[in-house]
Amino acid sequence: MATSFRPATGHHPADAYLRGPYAPVHSEVTIDDLDVLAGEIPHDLEGLFVRNGSNPVFEPPGRYHWFDGDGMVHGVHFGGGSASYRNRWVRTAGLDADLDAGRARLAGILEQPDFSVPGGPFKDTGNTDVVTHAGRLFALWWLSGAAHELDPVTLDTLGVCDFGGTLNVTMNAHPKVDPGTGEMVFTSYSMLPPYLHMGVVGPDGTVTHLEAIDLPGPRLQHDLAITPRYTVLLDMSMMFDPEQLAHGRTKVRFFRDLPSRIGVVPRHGTSDDVRWFEVEPFFMYHVINAHEDGDEVVLHGCRMADPLVGDPDNVVTAIAASRAIPQLGHLRLEPVLWQWRCNLVTGAVTEGPVDDTVSEFPRINDRFMGLDTSFSYSPTFADRTTLAFDGVVRHDLASGATTTHHYDHGWLGNEAVFAPSSDPRRTGESDGYLVTFVTHEDTGASEVHVFDPSNLAAGPVTRLGIPVRVPLGYHTEWVPAGSAR
Ligand SMILES: [Fe+2]
């Protein structure tokens, strides 16, 4: 990036997410032929591993939340027995305006929003998710924003994609691609009515369905799930407090007297077609997967029962009593793997834990999205008050059995993507690799680790050195070789 800037370093105690392994990097680099530190690059690992995250260009104008930073993608291209690395900022309109101004113009989510600022109140950073669909690559934002299209080779930002002029709402992070039809199912949400849309982008890259969904208020959204026939929507008991919002203030509250709801709707259905199932109040960032089982739609996800810091009604769980629970702004992160079963015939719903390991940022083999998958893969939480991952765990979704690999002391990881084998003979659910970045919290040394999903406990089968620091971040994606447009 041809610019100079004041590096964001963090001065406030709340700015822990600007220091150490979270500290932003200050340049874009391209490095070919990464050193293979251990093992060898599997012949059937061919494609792009890419991860999004916060990397603020300027000093924040107020208190900093980890989710505030400008988006930066870090990518590793695998192919021909070698690998290369590059990182690029997501060049959003908000970042360009900041660069023109020479400063960060907008406060983050821990400050009161200024609705009078053009493009505000918050900057759409595109920093959250990265998703490939129909040969294209998109960086997406957790507060529902533009679909920033990235070049899957250079990782340069190509611009905002409106899907041939067919998308006239924002797109939230975490759309889901149906491996059977090639459709991408997405949501869009807003603090103002209509609070939620669901939509479908067809394999031709145009929006084929868009429907406003009736919600009683500005529920915080993050993720959705699909099955071959249905979309699973969430109406959770956490939201921007409507009373505060009426006065132009944003304050997230958890209403533990308000049941949460799981909505099951045909993919091309309407708001009236949504079957809502009332469940115990919860908040959840990420679903793992959903599938159909007879009359039931089964949902797995990372459920939090006590999602706010300092809530006097929070229960001190055995987990919380034994270890530090990470905090991220006002959020308290103690998610456990949960299952809900929604019966479309009787209207009954059952729910319960699958395992009490604290884990988040789950991934599956996306070739099995919406089907009855056996396994999920999630980073495990380090015992500290900021969100950091000290290993990766495979869950057997039926039994709850786990297999875990812990990184060596001082090394912290990220979401691990499932990279399906490029060998056409290897098409099973576990046929592929887990790929993740790991960074040493003291030295900043950074590596890519590649795992055999069926033998996590053996540790990485391949370790690649990256000669620059890769800060901790959020979501990952795998773009198979040859799939880009
Ligand atoms: Fe997310």
Summarised one tens digit per residue, pLDDT across range 290-303 is 999 999 999 999 99
Residue 2 lies in a domain: no
Summarised one tens digit per residue, pLDDT across range 24-66 is 999 999 999 999 999 999 999 999 999 999 999 999 988 999 9
Residue 427 lies in a domain: yes
Quick one: pLDDT at residue 2? 36
- State the distance from the centre of ligand 1 to the C-alpha of 225, rounded, in angstroms: 13
- State the distance from the centre of ligand 1 to the C-alpha of 222, rounded, in angstroms: 6
- State the distance from the centre of ligand 1 to the C-alpha of 348, rounded, in angstroms: 29
- State the distance from the centre of ligand 1 to the C-alpha of 325, rounded, in angstroms: 19
- State the distance from the centre of ligand 1 to the C-alpha of 107, rounded, in angstroms: 21
For the cut 80, the answer to whether the pLDDT of residue 118 exceeds it is no
For the cut 50, the answer to whether the pLDDT of residue 1 exceeds it is no
- State the distance from the centre of ligand 1 to the C-alpha of 154, rounded, in angstroms: 24
- State the distance from the centre of ligand 1 to the C-alpha of 129, rounded, in angstroms: 6
Please provide residue 116's backbone torsions phi and psi, each rounded to the nearest 5 degrees.
-85, -10
- State the distance from the centre of ligand 1 to the C-alpha of 142, rounded, in angstroms: 7
pLDDT (mean) for 111-123: 81
- State the distance from the centre of ligand 1 to the C-alpha of 285, rounded, in angstroms: 6
pLDDT category of residue 240 using cuts at 50, 70 and 90: confident
- State the distance from the centre of ligand 1 to the C-alpha of 174, rounded, in angstroms: 7
Residue 316 lies in a domain: yes
- State the distance from the centre of ligand 1 to the C-alpha of 353, rounded, in angstroms: 21
Residue 77 lies in a domain: yes
Quick one: pLDDT at residue 5? 43
- State the distance from the centre of ligand 1 to the C-alpha of 223, rounded, in angstroms: 7
- State the distance from the centre of ligand 1 to the C-alpha of 422, rounded, in angstroms: 27
Tell me the whole-structure pTM to 2 decimals: 0.95
Summarised one tens digit per residue, pLDDT across range 451-463 is 999 999 999 999 9
- State the distance from the centre of ligand 1 to the C-alpha of 414, rounded, in angstroms: 12
For the cut 70, the answer to whether the pLDDT of residue 357 exceeds it is yes
Q: Which of 242-256, 366-380, 388-402, 410-424 has the lowest mean pLDDT?
A: 242-256
Q: What is the 3-state secondary structure (H, E, C) of the chain?
A: CCCCCCCCCCCCHHHHHHCHHHCCCCCCCEECCCEEEEECCCCCCCEEEEECCECCCCCCCCCCCHHHCCEEEEEEEEECCEEEEEEEECCCHHHHHHHHHCCCCCCCCCCCCCCCCCCCCCCCCCCCEEEEECCEEEEEECCCECEEEECCCCCCEEEEECCCCCCCCCEECCCEECCCCCCEEEEEECCCCCCEEEEEECCCCCEEEEEEECCCCCECCCCCEECCCEEEEEECCEEECHHHHHCCCCCEEECCCCCEEEEEEECCCCHHHCEEEEECCCEEEEEEEEEEECCEEEEEEEEECCCECCCCCCCCCHHHHHCCCCEECCEECCCEEEEEEEECCCCCEEEEEEEEEEECCCECCHHHCCCCCCEEEEEEECCCCCCCEEEEEEEECCCCCEEEEECCCCEEECCCEEEECCCCCCCCCCCEEEEEEEEECCCCCEEEEEECHHHHHHCCCEEEEECCCCCCCCCEEEEECCCCC
Quick one: pLDDT at residue 7? 46
- State the distance from the centre of ligand 1 to the C-alpha of 204, rounded, in angstroms: 26
Residue 5 lies in a domain: no
pLDDT (mean) for 244-261: 89
- State the distance from the centre of ligand 1 to the C-alpha of 286, rounded, in angstroms: 6
- State the distance from the centre of ligand 1 to the C-alpha of 360, rounded, in angstroms: 9
Summarised one tens digit per residue, pLDDT across range 10-19 is 445 458 899 9
- State the distance from the centre of ligand 1 to the C-alpha of 335, rounded, in angstroms: 13
- State the distance from the centre of ligand 1 to the C-alpha of 137, rounded, in angstroms: 16
Total number of domains constituting the chain: 1
Residue 7 lies in a domain: no
- State the distance from the centre of ligand 1 to the C-alpha of 331, rounded, in angstroms: 14
Quick one: pLDDT at residue 14? 55
Residue 333 lies in a domain: yes
Residue 297 lies in a domain: yes
- State the distance from the centre of ligand 1 to the C-alpha of 36, rounded, in angstroms: 30
Contacts of 480 (CB under 8 A, 6+ apart): 46, 47, 420, 422
For the cut 80, the answer to whether the pLDDT of residue 201 exceeds it is yes
Q: How high is the mean pLDDT of the chain?
A: 94
| Domain carrying residue 117 | 13-480
For the cut 50, the answer to whether the pLDDT of residue 269 exceeds it is yes
Q: Contact, 282 vs 301, CB < 8 A?
A: no
- State the distance from the centre of ligand 1 to the C-alpha of 4, rounded, in angstroms: 30
- State the distance from the centre of ligand 1 to the C-alpha of 110, rounded, in angstroms: 18
| CATH number for the domain harbouring residue 414 | 2.130.10.10
- State the distance from the centre of ligand 1 to the C-alpha of 399, rounded, in angstroms: 25
Quick one: pLDDT at residue 8? 53
pLDDT (mean) for 422-447: 97
Tokens matching residue 374: 């056996």
